[in-house]
Amino acid sequence: MTPAFIKRNAAAPRDFFGCEAAGLAWLGAVAGGVPCAQVICYDETSLTLRRIDSVPPTRESAREFGVRLAVTHDAGAAAFGAAPDGWSGPGFFGPLTQPLPMSVNQGTSPHGSWGKFYAVERLTPMAEKAAPRLSADGRAAVRDVVKHCTAGDFDTDDKPARLHGDLWSGNVMWTADGGVLVDPAAHGGHRETDLAMLALFGFPHLTDVLDGYRSMRQLSPGWERRVGLHQLYPLLAHVVLFGGGYTRQAEAAAASALTR
């Protein structure tokens, strides 16, 4: 019998586990990219994966992860906000116990640029949910970020990348063969979003990951100054879910995005 790991939530939104399975398949289909947890089966209340035996990461495995992540990103997506290939249901962001809705589209580009997509489909709806927990200055800073995004002030020449979408350290499992992706919020987006997420809560050997990544794909000038911009959406989600110190972090990220 194949060793298995079962994720279960009887109260999960409809299509939650189907969306995750589709994301794992889409990300894992990239030859030379980061491998993903293998789906055995899923239904409306659970997802069964092949069990992963974890080991501590090394600098070498972290660098290889960066190389493979660049390959995954370069596989691309049909549009900013595009759902995984073959998925026509909703998207989700956040933990198993409290997933938040995350819009995805079927490969069209209604907003025309990453900045407009990020402003309309990510920052604005999440900021509305987080608003009661933000200060007046914090709400104003987020509005200013949205305005600059809509104007294209943060856009680069990057095409839509194939993103994990929730790439914090807890969603990378380390094995004897290297990093493996789990728990995606997969969609087409900006490659800097995944990289900023790696840095948000600490990631082992992050410098080596970035060295490996940039050996395959150079980042657009000024990417370091946009880290807070890309971290703003997940931080607002944490404000919605948990409040507390995440409010200060979100407001600081908004302020840093405006310092260019």
CA dihedral 26, 28, 34, 39 (to 10 degrees): 120
- Is 166 labeled as catalytic in the residue annotation? yes
Q: Which pair of tokens denotes residue 183?
A: 């728990």
Residue 58 neighbours by CB under 8 Å, 6+ apart: 205
- The amino acid present at 139, given as its one-letter code, is R
Nearest alpha carbon to residue 258 among 120, 148, 100, 97: 148
Residue 225 neighbours by CB under 8 Å, 6+ apart: 256, 259, 260
Query: Are residues 48 and 3 in contact, defined by beta-carbon separation less than 8 angstroms?
Result: no
What is the CA 73 to chain-centroid distance, rounded? 12
Sign (positive/negative) of CA torsion 174, 180, 183, 187?
A: positive
Choose, from 137, 166, 194, 211, the residue flagged as catalytic.
Answer: 166
Biggest alpha carbon–alpha carbon distance for the chain? 57
List residues bridging with 7 in a β-sheet: 47
* Residues carrying an active site annotation: 166
